[in-house]
Amino acid sequence: MNRICAGFAGLLLFTLARSQTPEPAFAVASIKPNESRPFGNPRFGLVEFKSGGRLTATAASVYVLVKAAYGLSTERIGKGPKCPDWAVSQRFDVEAVAEEGTIPERLDSTQLRERMQPLLQRLLAERYGLVIRRVPKEMPVYELTVAKSGAKLTEAPISAEECRTSYDCHRILGDRLRGLHGSAVTMGDLAFALEKWSDRPIINATGIEGLFALEVRPYADMKPILEDFPESLPEKQRPPPEPFKPSLSSILEKDLGLLLVHGRAQIETIQIESVSRPSPN
């Protein structure tokens, strides 16, 4: 009986110790409103997780910050009845640094994102008073699959072991206007990157494992973006119309032997229940 009591007491102390362990947090964080216009600023709306636990966000709305904090696209985030409109329209510059030793210096992009997302989630809860609700929902999706002709992929120049400590690994740079480039990425990384400019979630259904060097040429968007059609601006201030570009589906099939197929799937979404404006500092 004494052994049982001692064991129970030890388990209780261990549980209490774990519950009292503070969650990782940014040691310093600055949030300032950004009133600049997006045109001509390639960093507009960009959230970056950097080596050593540094975060920078330029002209990012609450919606954009939530996307980065939970690794979701716009299609997976909804607004509750108490979520204000400014959560989408108002932009902020955010600079934050994690406590020393919280985030190792040498991590690949996926590990870095997974380590830093909880810090950004806590920042949003504490500084913006963000309250979310997770809602599973069945919705239309695109499945990234292999074309009948077979995949046309180039193996990455580094091994999986080398990848674990390379910041460029699992990292896809660029956008639909400039094209995408990844020196050592998986099919899951590609689906995650493409979903940023998709009108529905993209699921990796290729069944292909391994690391690849990928190039995706500039392509036409799969959904209209407000900044692309600034009807509210005077005509002289509007950017010139972008030239015709091929569709993403045609590029993927021709260059990489991959297809985007329509489907449906159960997807976890996040609903923003409430949020407050942070005090600038």
Position 234 confidence tier, pLDDT thresholds 50, 70, 90:
low
Read off the pLDDT band of 221 (50, 70, 90): low
User: How would you classify the pairing of strands 212-216 and 154-155?
Assistant: antiparallel
Tens-digit pLDDT profile for residues 241-254: 555 568 888 899 99
How do residues 131-168 score in pLDDT, each as one tens digit? 999 999 999 999 999 999 999 999 999 998 899 888 88
CB 169 within 8 A of CB 158: yes
Query: DSSP per residue over 89-138, as a string?
Result: H-EEEEEEEEPTTSS-SS--HHHHHHHHHHHHHHHHHHHS--EEEEEEEE
The pLDDT of residue 86 is 93
- Pairwise CA distance, residues 11 & 241, whole Å: 65
In angstroms, the CA 180 to CA 173 distance is: 6
C-alpha atoms less than 13 angstroms from C-alpha of 51 in its C-beta half-sphere? 10
- Report how far residue 23's alpha carbon sits from residue 152's, in angstroms, rounded to the nearest whole number: 44
> Quick check: 39 pLDDT over 80?
no
pTM: 0.74
Picking from 6-10, 117-121, 164-168, which range would have the lowest pLDDT averaged per residue?
Answer: 6-10
